């Protein structure tokens, strides 16, 4: 009897000792450093957002926005004056108390003339920001806009300590639930729980992000248990290796529309009929079954999980015969298109090219790296067609820009976007959002292929991991071991 009790006690003790309170998360790309306000690399956000750094607001798992460093806020009727009331129990990791000065400093740093913030253009509309008292800050806008709250929730708008901000690249100090511990460039970043956190502290004691660029190595690291999870897993081919008894393979949503961008400035592609032909020519469903079986097809620039979505994915059903006919009518049946393919879209591009060849289009493939894509395709509009995911949430506004790489210019559409910015009435907003989707689809600006899914793989015993990817981030605050 005594022996049994001792045995039971020892089992109990060992199980308590074994309860894990740390985690190792795998990521494909390494962050160059840890300051999200001066570099567009999403790997930075995936480490620091909501873990080390926090903004006035935070984007939630479902894509909404919640208060984080503000306890309350007020918006004037004309959507030009925003007043923020800041929580008064917030401390930075170095012990400094969060003040209105930090907020004025951090936000002015985004829209200042010499700002190099990757989201600078989104804050063009800010006229000024000033402190009213120690817990109150006011932002004035040049013209009415409803997007400020969302933009302030972005990883690029996190709040820095105005005294320590310069060291944030390699020794980040924020207000988040985790303190930066150490970093080995190219290998890992380690963070520990911040005990003086302003809300409920994190459940994990520490977390490590490990960077594994090769997908086969990533899968073996997960299988052998060296890493506990890979929240953004890209290699669909190796998914069957993760057996259900040990792993969760979770398909969530992203804000990323994967599209075949058509250069509307192109001699033939400027003709809507040709663009429609391209829409008919590609069998989206079979493309999806090859490259991303869990993805949802789309027919406009709008995610299926968002409010106000209109399903237009079947507006141009696969019809090679019709595509050929339309091309012939437009005199484009013999055209040659150069297909610019950025990294990681090679398979998709091959499938699409074969569909385009079927309707008589000659396709020339051109593989480029990210730097080349940005400078040639995106900035110089030097391309015919290209494939890319637009990961920005609520980014239908890009179609209203006159100088954008799509080259789409429709004043009716530009008006819709202008109206949306100041429309407060919810029903009217939804109406406008519907019109936006339908207009884009009617004009067949691009060939929208599918909404990129987020595939996450992690240990079955892990709870609290985000299923969706509404923003670049791996928020670990509520993650724990069962």
Partner 1 sequence: MFIGSNIKGLMKILIKLLLSILVVMLITFLGIEQLSGDVADIIAGTEGDAQQIRNQMGLNQSVVSRFFWWVNAVAQGNFGNSLIFEVPVIDIVNERILISAPIALFAFLISISLGLLLGIISVVSNNSFWNNIIILMISFPVVWLSLLFIMIFSLSLNILPSGGIGMWKHYLMPCLALGISQAGVFARYVRVGLLEIQNSDFIHFYQVVGFSKVHVLLKYGLPAISGSLLSIIGLQIGFLFTGIVVVEHIFAMPGIGDLLYQAILKRDVFLAGYIVMKSALFIILINSIVDFIAYIITPSLRKGYNA
Applying CB under 8 A, does 220 fall inside the site for partner 1?
yes
CA–CA distance, 472 with 325 (Å, rounded to integer): 43
The count of residues in the chain is 482
The per-residue DSSP string of 82-127 comes to EEEEE-SS-B-TTSPBP-HHHHHHHHHHHHSTT---TTGGGGTTEE
In whole angstroms, what separates CA 375 from the centre of its chain?
21
Residue 239 engages partner 1 in binding (rule: CB under 8 A)? no
Answer yes or no whether residue 170 interacts with partner 1 by CB under 8 A: yes
Residue 119 touches partner 1, criterion: CB under 8 A: yes
Q: Using the structure block, give the residue that is written with the tokens 């005294």.
A: 163
Among 89, 134, 314, 375, binds partner 1 (CB under 8 A): 375
Q: Is 155 in the site for partner 1 (CB under 8 A)?
A: no
Instruction: Write the DSSP symbol of residue 53.
Output: B
**What minimum distance in Å lies between the beta carbon of 76 and partner 1?**
27
163 lies in the binding site for partner 1 (CB under 8 A) = no
Encode burial over 3-39: b for 16+ CB neighbours within 10 A, e otherwise: eeeeeeeeeeeeeeeeeeeebbbbbbebbeebbbbeb
Using the rule CB under 8 A, is 187 a contact of partner 1?
Answer: yes
Q: Which of positions 41-100 make contact with partner 1 (CB under 8 A)?
A: 41
Among 142, 184, 246, 426, contact with partner 1 (rule: CB under 8 A)? 184
Report the residue number, 251 or 404, with the smaller CB distance to partner 1.
404
Q: Is 243 in the site for partner 1 (CB under 8 A)?
A: no
Residue 270 in contact with partner 1, rule: CB under 8 A = no
Q: Give the DSSP H/E element, type plus range, for residue 378.
A: none
User: Which DSSP symbol is given to 158?
Assistant: P
- Gap between the Cα atoms of 48 and 38, Å rounded: 13
Those residues whose C-beta lies under 8 Å from the C-beta of residue 127, and which sit 6 or more positions away, are 140, 141, 142
Joined together, the tokens standing for residue 253 give 């949503």
Alpha carbons 447 and 182: distance in angstroms, whole number: 44
Could you say which of 92, 211, 268, 280 contacts partner 1 (CB under 8 A)? Answer: 211
Residue 371 within binding range of partner 1, rule CB under 8 A: yes
Interacting span for partner 1 (CB under 8 A) from 61-69, 119-127, 195-203, 473-481: 119-127
Q: According to CB under 8 A, which one of 22, 83, 108, 115 is a site residue for partner 1?
A: 115
Does position 185 bind partner 1 by CB under 8 A?
yes
Which of these ranges, 45-53, 62-70, 210-218, 284-292, lies near partner 1 under the rule CB under 8 A? 210-218
239, 282, 338 from 249: Cα distances, Å: 8, 29, 37
User: Under the criterion CB under 8 A, does residue 346 sit at the interface with partner 1?
Assistant: no
266 binds partner 1 (CB under 8 A): no
The binder of partner 1 chosen from 83, 136, 144, 376 (CB under 8 A): 376
Task: For residues 396 and 255, give the distance between their C-alpha atoms in angstroms, rounded to a whole number.
Answer: 11
Stretch that binds partner 1, among 2-10, 180-188, 406-414, 473-481 (CB under 8 A): 180-188
- Name the residues that contact partner 1, by CB under 8 A: 30, 32-33, 38-41, 114-122, 169-170, 184-187, 210-214, 216-218, 220-221, 223-226, 368-376, 378-379
């Amino acid at each position: 009897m005594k022996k049994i009790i001792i045995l039971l006690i020892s089992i109990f003790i060992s199980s308590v000792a074994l309860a894990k309170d740390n985690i190792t998360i795998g990521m494909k790309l390494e962050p160059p450093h840890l300051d999200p306000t001066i570099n567009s690399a999403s790997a930075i956000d995936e480490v620091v957002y909501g873990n080390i750094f926090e903004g006035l607001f935070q984007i939630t798992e479902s894509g909404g926005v919640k208060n984080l460093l503000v306890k309350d806020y007020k918006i004037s009727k004309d959507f030009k004056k925003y007043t923020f009331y800041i929580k008064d129990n917030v401390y930075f990791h170095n012990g400094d108390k969060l003040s209105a000065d930090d907020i004025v400093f951090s936000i002015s740093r985004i829209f200042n003339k010499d700002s190099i913030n990757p989201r600078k253009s989104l804050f063009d509309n800010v006229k000024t920001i000033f402190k009213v008292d120690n817990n109150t800050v006011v932002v004035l806008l040049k013209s009415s806009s409803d997007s400020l709250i969302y933009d302030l929730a972005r990883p690029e708008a996190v709040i820095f300590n105005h005294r320590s901000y310069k060291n944030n690249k390699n020794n980040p100090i924020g207000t988040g639930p985790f303190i930066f511990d150490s970093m080995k460039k190219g290998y890992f970043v380690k963070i520990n729980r911040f005990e003086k956190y302003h809300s409920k502290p994190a459940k994990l004691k520490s977390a490590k992000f490990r960077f594994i660029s090769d997908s086969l190595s990533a899968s073996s690291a997960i299988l052998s248990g060296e890493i506990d999870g890979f929240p953004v897993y890209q290699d669909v081919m190796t998914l069957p290796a993760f057996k259900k008894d040990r792993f969760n393979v979770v398909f969530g949503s992203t804000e990323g529309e994967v599209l075949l961008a058509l250069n509307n400035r192109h001699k033939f592609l400027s003709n809507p009929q040709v663009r429609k032909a391209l829409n008919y020519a590609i069998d989206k469903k079979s493309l999806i079954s090859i490259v991303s079986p869990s993805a949802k097809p789309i027919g406009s620039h709008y995610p299926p999980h968002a409010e106000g979505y209109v399903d237009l994915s079947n507006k141009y059903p696969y019809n090679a015969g019709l595509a050929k006919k339309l091309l012939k009518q437009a005199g484009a049946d013999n055209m040659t298109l150069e297909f610019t393919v950025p990294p990681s879209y090679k398979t998709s591009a091959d499938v699409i090219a074969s569909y385009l060849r079927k309707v008589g289009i000659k396709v020339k493939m051109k593989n480029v790296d990210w730097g080349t894509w940005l400078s040639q395709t995106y900035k110089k509009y030097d391309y015919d067609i290209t494939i890319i995911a637009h990961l920005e949430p609520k980014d239908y506004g890009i179609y209203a820009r006159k100088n954008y790489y799509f080259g789409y210019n429709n004043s009716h559409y530009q008006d819709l976007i202008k109206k949306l910015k100041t429309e407060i009435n919810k029903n009217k907003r939804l109406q406008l959002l519907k019109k936006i989707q339908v207009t884009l689809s009617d004009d067949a600006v691009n060939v929208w292929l599918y909404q990129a899914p987020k595939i996450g793989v992690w240990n079955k015993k892990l709870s609290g991991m985000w299923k969706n990817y509404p923003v670049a981030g791996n928020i670990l605050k509520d993650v724990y071991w069962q």
